[in-house]
Amino acid sequence: MKFVLTLYLCSIITGQCNSHFTVGFEFDDHYECATTGYELAARTIEKIDRNTVNEGRLAVKFYCQEVDLNIIIPPKKPGKPT
C-alpha cells in the first residue's frame, strides 16, 4: 500500500475548507506522508500574507489517504469498425 497526501486550506472562523490540493507523488508509509504534511502545511501558511492568515484565522489540515496501487485497470475497448 502507498499513501497520497491532500492538503486543505481552512478558516477556523467559518469551519470551511475551500481550497485543497493533492501532492503529486505517493509515500511508502503513513509516517513519511504525515511528516511531509506538517512540513508542507507550515510552508503553505508562510506563503500567505500574515494579515490574511490572521483575519481569516487560516490553517492547513491534511489527510494521508491509503491507496492500493495493485488495482488492475482494464484496457480500453477497441472502437467500432467502420
Span 16-56, pLDDT tens digits? 998 888 887 899 999 999 999 999 999 999 999 999 999 99
Residue 32 lies in a domain: yes
Count Cβ atoms within 10 A of the Cβ of residue 27 and give its class: 0-12 exposed, 13-18 middle, 19 or more buried.
buried
Residue 52 lies in a domain: yes
Give the number of domains in the chain. 1
The pLDDT score that the predictor gives to residue 21 is 84
Residue 82 lies in a domain: no
Listed in sequence order, the residues at least 6 apart from 40 whose beta carbon sits closer than 8 Å to its beta carbon are 5, 7, 23, 60, 62
pTM: predicted TM-score of the whole model, two decimal places: 0.74
The pLDDT score that the predictor gives to residue 23 is 83
The pLDDT score that the predictor gives to residue 76 is 66
Residue 53 lies in a domain: yes
User: Cα separations (Å) of 31 from 18, 34, 66?
Assistant: 26, 5, 12
Domain that holds residue 40: 2-67
